[in-house]
């Protein structure tokens, strides 16, 4: 049986830091599903779930064992349904760990056969977040080093749209 890992997140938008974790996960597992989830702690977001899925598909099209899906429900239930063996979460800084650890314990309670793996981001991306991309972009800053080139213009266009409202 092929091993399946899930890389969940809100990805609003996907960054090069996210892609680093996705690429590294794809080397470790036969299949990877990048799962766009809605974060109940955050507002609706800048991009719709279908736009986020599209952005990730375009940004990972060169990685053959990566699939992208959206799910609006419990991660643990989705992982069980798909037959995943692992949930892979990227960690940038120590403050990420506390929330991720709580989520991992909850997922373990809901789906005891699925392991959570914490992958530390490359130091080059430790500062990077989707929120930072949106903030820098909203002030006209260059986001070229922060997001995949395949979606950079989409992000700039959306920021411009929102500014003009």
The answer to whether residue 52 is catalytic is: no
* Catalytic option among 18, 52, 71, 89: 18
106: Cβ contacts below 8 Å, ≥ 6 apart: 76
* Catalytic option among 3, 42, 61, 163: 42
* Catalytic option among 52, 71, 92, 134: 92
The answer to whether residue 31 is catalytic is: no
The answer to whether residue 112 is catalytic is: no
Q: How far apart are CA 10 and CA 37, in angstroms?
A: 5
The answer to whether residue 18 is catalytic is: yes
Question: What backbone phi and psi angles, to 5 degrees, belong to 145?
Answer: -85, -5
* Catalytic option among 59, 71, 89, 130: 130
17: Cβ contacts below 8 Å, ≥ 6 apart: 90, 92, 121, 122, 125, 128, 129
Catalytic residue IDs: 18, 42, 92, 130
């Amino acid at each position: 049986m092929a091993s399946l890992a899930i890389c969940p997140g809100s990805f609003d938008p996907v960054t090069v830091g996210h892609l680093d974790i996705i690429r590294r996960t794809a080397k470790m597992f036969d299949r990877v599903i990048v799962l766009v989830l809605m974060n109940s702690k955050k507002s609706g977001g800048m991009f719709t779930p279908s736009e986020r899925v599209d952005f990730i598909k375009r940004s990972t099209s060169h990685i053959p064992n990566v699939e992208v899906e959206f799910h609006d429900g419990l991660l643990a239930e989705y992982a069980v349904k798909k037959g995943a063996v692992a949930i892979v979460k990227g960690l940038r800084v120590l403050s990420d760990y506390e929330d991720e650890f709580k989520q991992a314990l909850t997922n373990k309670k809901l789906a005891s056969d699925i392991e959570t793996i914490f992958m530390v981001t490359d130091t080059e991306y430790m500062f990077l977040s989707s929120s930072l991309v949106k903030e820098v972009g909203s002030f006209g800053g260059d986001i070229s080093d922060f997001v995949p080139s395949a979606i950079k213009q989409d992000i700039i266009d959306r920021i411009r749209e929102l500014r003009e409202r």
